[in-house]
Amino acid sequence: MTESDRNFTGSIPDIYDDYLVPLIFEPYAQDMARRVAETSPAKVLETAAGSGVVTRALAPLLAGRARYVVTDLNPPMLERAKRQQPADGRIDWQPADAMALPFEDGAFDAVCCQFGVMFLPDKVAGYREARRVLRDGGTFVFNVWDRIEHNHFAQSVTDTAAGFFPDDPPRFLARTPHGYHDVDAICAELRAAGFGQIEVATITEESRAGSPRDPAVAYCQGTPLRNELEQRAAERLEEITQAAARDIERRFGAGPVSGRIQGHVFVAMT
């Protein structure tokens, strides 16, 4: 992972939330919210909250006296999440690094993280930090994307971008969001961090968009893939986006399009 892989700034947060969240994140957010709510937690910590899709799904399911601390390393993403969330006195918003959480040991009943652990520079250390802030018997729920071959639009956009830069193909999507998918290795890292019982489920969903351009904009302009494209040829960003839309149309049809998305969800207990 490069430094630019974690750079969700400029217009990326708004495009991410408007395009990418409904395209791929919402069904997994609903699943995560359900799994967390089923533990009946009084205190919940969300790390790497992004633009708040899990927050919007989980908050209505929590008890009236619950405390919900929502964090992200990137203040622009957290600001976007706050703007999208209905007023709720149970929620505390706080910039925080999941590698060094500013909370006491055993402070939470549940920790959740949607598609964020792949950005941790040291996975075991990050899991150990989640374990530290959980009470005995607490639950850590997170998910990761499966390999890029099982995620159709991401694969298509990656192929298109590679055609523009064959000697130095932009690989953000394959390298980071879809580069951390080995279930056995992740379970081993969780055990090394001190988690005992671990449950894993693979969830396949359908990604739907109103037009081929929507996923092209989502990935090319609403993720750190944009940073890679602009580093190579900033003036060609729209040209590459249009080419990605044409390739998606060729593969998946014109008008409304759909493609497979697939990820793994982990429920780890202390």
On the question of pLDDT at 6 being above 60, the answer is no
Contacts of 51 (CB under 8 A, 6+ apart): 13, 16, 17, 21, 77, 80, 81, 84
Which amino acid appears at position 217 of this protein? V
Query: What is the value of pTM for the model shown?
Result: 0.93
pLDDT in tens, 85-124: 999 999 999 999 999 999 999 999 999 999 999 999 999 9
Is 75 within 8 Å of 52 (Cβ atoms)? Answer: no
**Least confident window among 34-38, 80-84, 111-115:** 80-84
Residue predicted with more confidence, 17 or 188: 188
The torsion defined by the Cα of 90, 96, 99 and 101, in degrees rounded to 10, comes to -50
44 exposure class (CB count in 10 Å sphere: 0-12, 13-18, 19+):
buried
Q: How far apart are the first and last CA of the chain?
A: 29
Average pLDDT, the chain: 95
Q: How confident is the model at residue 12 (pLDDT cuts 50, 70, 90)?
A: confident
Q: How confident is the model at residue 143 (pLDDT cuts 50, 70, 90)?
A: very high
Domain CATH code at residue 138: 3.40.50.150
pLDDT > 70 in the chain, percent:
96
Q: What pLDDT does residue 2 have?
A: 56
Q: How confident is the model at residue 13 (pLDDT cuts 50, 70, 90)?
A: confident
Q: Which domain holds residue 47?
A: 3-269
Domains of the chain: total: 1
For 48, 63, 216, the CA distances from 228, given in Å and listed in that order, are: 21, 43, 15
Distance from the Cα of residue 143 to its chain's centroid: 8
On the question of pLDDT at 54 being above 50, the answer is yes
